[in-house]
Amino acid sequence: MAFLGRSSPKIRIGSSLTLGQTLLPVYLTCLKRDILEIESGNLDFAIVEGNVKSNYVNCVKLDSDKLVAVCSVLFKAPESITILELSTYPLLLREIGSASRDLFEHQLSLHGVSVNPIMESASNHVLVKNAEVGLGITILPNYLVKDAINNGSLREVLILDCEMTRDHFLICHKNKKSNSYQ
């Protein structure tokens, strides 16, 4: 296939797990108007959330999101809570090193609080399902749980004394030679 008289352009995209499950499909739908093939391998750019700590990449902010605490509508927790009070409940958290977990751990440390989650997972879906059946409270991006909140399988527990927002970035290597499609 040709695109504007050229061979099909190929770019390699990476993303964090959360953005790959939620926002990347939206971004790719927009990209597909101009880009015919995306293949895995070495990356031309990546879409990530949270702080990017590298002197070797250029970053462009795309969007931002907010982490929220959610639980089953039947789970015994108040509508609003402090982060210290939250730490006393059974918590279902992302794995250590994920952007969501890092942001939550940062907020905990700012308040001098530590937690022992009853479950850790790399899967947002697993955490949502376990929260829906009433095993505890999970901390996830709002855009991941908004449908479950709207359909009544989860409810938000407002954390009164912390705000957990983060940015999404498009990143690429500073020294990588780009093609005309990038």
Q: pLDDT tens digits for 15-40?
A: 766 667 766 666 665 444 333 332 33
Domain(s) of CATH 3.40.190.10: residues in the chain: 2-63+167-173, 65-166
**Residue, of 124 and 2, whose pLDDT is higher:** 124
pLDDT in tens, 95-111: 988 878 988 999 999 99
pLDDT in tens, 146-175: 999 999 999 999 999 998 988 877 777 666
Q: What is the pLDDT of residue 37?
A: 31
Is domain 2-63+167-173 classified as CATH 3.40.190.10? yes
Is domain 65-166 classified as CATH 3.40.190.10? yes
Three-class secondary structure assignment of 101-113: HHHHHHHHHHCCC
Q: Residue 87, CB half-sphere, CA atoms under 13 Å: how many?
A: 15
Gap between the Cα atoms of 27 and 10, Å rounded: 16
